[in-house]
């Protein structure tokens, strides 16, 4: 495929996607509140993340994330096999993974962008802790 053809197709796809969003949501969002109202119709929440700004906050966030995820996984492991459903297993695993990834993503951004060297270093170490924990999940 020629490069020119690729860019034309990519542009058309972009415009089509944008128009579909407007049709499905009933308009164009201008503010965060507009987006939140549209998301609420789909039982979704849109908000700004709260970033950790100190080394203590980073440490606390990682510990809380791991403790919460471990508790959720322990709960899943104790389920009666006769009462296992998609909702209380697959969705619960997905929700747990989502929360852990939110923390990892925030820390990754802090690690790369913070103007405070100590905070960057703490985020780097915290990212390693989360990665090591995640590797250990394979053995649970």
Report the share of the chain in percent with pLDDT over 70: 81
Based on the fold, state whether residues 72 and 133 are members of the same structural domain.
yes
Buried b (16+ CB within 10 A) or exposed e, 69-96: beebeeebeeeeeeeeeeeeeeebeeeb
Q: What is the CATH number of the domain that holds 92?
A: 1.20.1050.40
Query: Would 46 be classed as within a structural domain?
Result: no
Based on the fold, state whether residues 127 and 87 are members of the same structural domain.
yes
Give the closest residue to 93 by CA, choosing from 76, 114, 111, 112: 76
Give the closest residue to 27 by CA, choosing from 14, 7, 13, 41: 41
For the chain, what is the mean pLDDT? 86
pLDDT of residue 137: 85
The pLDDT tens digits for 58-92 are 999 999 999 999 999 999 999 999 999 999 999 99
The pLDDT tens digits for 98-130 are 999 999 999 999 999 999 999 999 999 999 999
Based on the fold, state whether residues 71 and 97 are members of the same structural domain.
yes
The range of the structural domain enclosing residue 95 comes to 55-137
Query: Would 49 be classed as within a structural domain?
Result: no
Confidence of residue 8 (pLDDT cuts 50, 70, 90): low
Residue 99 near residue 69 (C-beta atoms within 8 A): yes
For 81, the token pair is 């096999």
Query: Would 122 be classed as within a structural domain?
Result: yes
Query: Would 7 be classed as within a structural domain?
Result: yes
Based on the fold, state whether residues 67 and 129 are members of the same structural domain.
yes
The pLDDT tens digits for 36-64 are 999 999 999 998 889 999 999 999 999 99
């Amino acid at each position: 495929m020629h490069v020119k053809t690729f860019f034309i197709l990519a542009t058309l796809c972009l415009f089509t996607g944008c128009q579909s969003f407007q049709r499905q949501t009933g308009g164009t969002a201008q503010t965060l509140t507009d987006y939140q109202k549209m998301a609420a119709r789909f039982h979704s929440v849109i908000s700004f993340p709260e970033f950790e700004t100190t080394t203590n906050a980073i440490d606390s966030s990682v510990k809380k994330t791991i403790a919460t995820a471990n508790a959720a996984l322990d709960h899943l492991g104790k389920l009666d096999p006769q009462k296992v459903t998609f909702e209380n297993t697959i969705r619960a695993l997905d929700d747990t993974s989502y929360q852990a990834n939110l923390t990892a993503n925030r820390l990754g951004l802090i690690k790369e962008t913070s103007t405070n060297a100590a905070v960057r270093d703490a985020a780097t170490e915290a990212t390693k802790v989360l990665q090591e924990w995640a590797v250990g999940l394979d053995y649970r």
